[in-house]
Amino acid sequence: MAAWRAMTAEDVAFVAELGLAIYPHLPESVGSFAAKFAATPEACRVACDRDGSRVGYCVALWAELGRPPKLDDVAYAPCARECLHLHDLAVAPAARGQGLVAQAVAHLRGVAGALPLTLVAVNGSAPLWRRFGFSEVAGSAASYGADALYMRRNP
């Protein structure tokens, strides 16, 4: 059974590698993930299986409502704390079905406190996020692809 742990700077290359494998049409560099991790380390996690192998990640950061962070932004700098934005979550296919998404959302709710969670659903994942209390709201998601939906979950 896989479990989440705090992300470290040593995990960033793994995050970029798994991200490219899961989302090849939305590439993001090591530098971009490093900048986002540095901005909000308390919200970033890595999932590891029983032998310690990394099998997933969750990168979230403080953001302005309706304005998700740009993809591949190596110059990302923290902004207003209007929401905690789940920028990226990926789980290797072999580790899916273990409740990792639910655990990640619970962790992010704790970090966000009284602020909403937001995300951009890609690859037709909106039904998954609806199960965790997210609903589509107005916001800019165009840079994430034609099927991308900006979603929000209130505290």
Per-residue pLDDT tens digits for 61-106: 999 999 898 888 898 887 789 999 999 999 999 999 999 999 999 9
pLDDT of residue 78: 75
> What are the residue ranges of helices labelled H in 61-140?
100-112, 126-131
Q: Give the separation between CA 120 and CA 69, rounded to whole angstroms.
A: 10
Element (H, E) at 83: strand 83-91
- Segments of the chain scoring below 70 in pLDDT: none
Query: How many Å from the N-terminal Cα to the C-terminal Cα in the chain?
Result: 28
**One-letter amino acid identity for 8?**
T
Query: Residue 142 is encoded by which pair of tokens?
Result: 């165009």
Element (H, E) at 79: none
pLDDT of residue 143: 78
Burial of 35 (0-12, 13-18, 19+ CB in 10 A): buried
DSSP lists the bridge partners of residue 88 as 59
pLDDT of residue 139: 76
Query: Residue 79 is encoded by which pair of tokens?
Result: 């902004």
DSSP lists the bridge partners of residue 91 as 56
Q: Indicate the SS3 state at residue 120.
A: strand
Q: Give the separation between CA 46 and CA 143, rounded to whole angstroms.
A: 25
Q: Give the separation between CA 39 and CA 79, rounded to whole angstroms.
A: 9
pLDDT of residue 141: 79
